[in-house]
């Protein structure tokens, strides 16, 4: 019986160390000397600026019948009092819109691009109203979360909202080393931002917001193979292990009678 107790104690100790703890997977933890979480500086939010190869949705609204008929002819005969289409940003940073000279939009925010295009179109269509939006407003997720491409449905989407769209990071995901791969223009190497998303200082840091074309990579922890995902599974593992151990010991005792 003493041997059984020692073995059971050792088994329980091993299994307890195999459970995921709040320190490992919990969010918004306060950095302390014990958990050694990083402290990130707060930085002002920077709006996304248009890049080469982005797709711009351009919508023109006008009551000018002549312009409307021209747009309808180029739009398959559809009603053109409200005309919308998407246009790619060329290598020189411009977009080529109907009735307009090429307009440079690289480096502008959506609002700045809208104001620039509206000013240009009103030179020939005084009553025109223009709406501009980014078409490729997506981020991607790979690794230990539900991989896929997801739409950025609001400005200032943060990392928690983005990963919530995937169903959250799996318990086996390494929250200490989340990476965001962020592309740059002009052939520059993409920027790789690595951070610990468990600390509460991530709020308003440079790692907090997700931008179009970001790729979020969630690596798997090295010890995930030995971890038990839930306490239900933990209890089940203990029960089955104890039952197996008891059976083996009883069998051994019968052999040596």
pLDDT band at 225 (very low <50, low <70, confident <90, very high): very low
| Same-domain check for residues 153 and 211 | yes
| Same-domain check for residues 206 and 241 | no
Among 134, 152, 168, the domain-final residue is: 134
| Same-domain check for residues 95 and 217 | no
Pairwise CA distance, residues 27 & 43, whole Å: 20
* Full residue range of the structural domain in which residue 39 is found: 22-47+137-225
Among 91, 110, 134, the domain-final residue is: 134
| Same-domain check for residues 143 and 178 | yes
Q: Is pLDDT of 77 > 80? A: no
CATH at residue 128: 3.30.1950.10
pLDDT band at 69 (very low <50, low <70, confident <90, very high): low
Among 114, 134, 154, the domain-final residue is: 134
Q: Cα dihedral sign for 62, 59, 126, 68?
A: negative
Please state the domain count of the chain: 3
Q: What is the residue-wise DSSP string for 186-254? A: TTPPPEEEEE-TTBGGGTTSTTSB--TT-EEEEPBPTTGGG-BSSHHHHHHHHHHHHHHHHHHHHHHHH
| Same-domain check for residues 147 and 122 | no
pTM: 0.75
| Same-domain check for residues 76 and 199 | no
Structure tokens at 225: 């193979």
| Same-domain check for residues 130 and 143 | no
Q: Is pLDDT of 58 > 80? A: yes
| Same-domain check for residues 127 and 244 | no
Nearest alpha carbon to residue 50 among 146, 115, 145: 115
Q: Is pLDDT of 35 > 60? A: yes
CATH at residue 218: 3.10.560.10
Per the CB < 8 A criterion, the answer to whether 58 and 75 are in contact is no
Give the residue ranges of DSSP H helices in the chain. 2-16, 22-25, 65-74, 110-121, 159-164, 231-255
Higher pLDDT, 108 or 256: 108
Structure tokens at 157: 């989407």
Pairwise CA distance, residues 169 & 219, whole Å: 10
| Same-domain check for residues 40 and 165 | yes
Q: Taking residues 57-65, what's their average pLDDT?
A: 83
| Same-domain check for residues 43 and 143 | yes
| Same-domain check for residues 250 and 212 | no
| Same-domain check for residues 189 and 241 | no
């Amino acid at each position: 019986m003493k041997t059984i107790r020692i073995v059971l104690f050792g088994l329980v100790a091993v299994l307890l160390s195999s459970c995921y703890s709040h320190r490992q997977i919990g969010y918004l933890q306060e950095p302390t000397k014990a958990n050694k979480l990083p402290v990130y500086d707060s930085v002002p939010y920077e709006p996304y600026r248009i890049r080469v190869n982005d797709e711009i949705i351009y919508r023109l609204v006008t009551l000018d019948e002549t312009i409307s008929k021209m747009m309808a002819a180029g739009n398959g005969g559809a009603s053109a009092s409200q005309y919308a289409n998407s246009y790619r940003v060329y290598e020189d940073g411009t977009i080529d819109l109907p009735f307009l000279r090429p307009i440079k939009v690289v480096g502008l925010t959506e609002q700045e691009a809208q104001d620039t295009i509206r000013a240009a179109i009103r030179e020939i269509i005084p009553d025109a109203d223009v709406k501009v939006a980014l078409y490729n407003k997506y981020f991607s997720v790979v690794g230990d979360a539900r991989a896929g491409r997801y739409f950025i449905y609001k400005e200032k989407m943060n990392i928690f909202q983005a990963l919530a769209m995937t169903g959250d990071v799996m318990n086996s995901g390494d929250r200490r080393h989340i990476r965001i791969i962020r592309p740059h223009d002009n052939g520059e190497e993409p920027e790789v931002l690595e951070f610990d998303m468990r600390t509460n200082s991530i709020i308003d840091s440079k790692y907090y917001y997700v931008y179009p074309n970001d790729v979020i990579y969630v690596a798997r922890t090295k010890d995930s193979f030995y971890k038990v995902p839930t306490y239900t599974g933990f209890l089940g593992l203990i029960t089955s292990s104890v039952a197996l151990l008891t059976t083996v010991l009883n069998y051994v005792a019968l052999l040596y009678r």
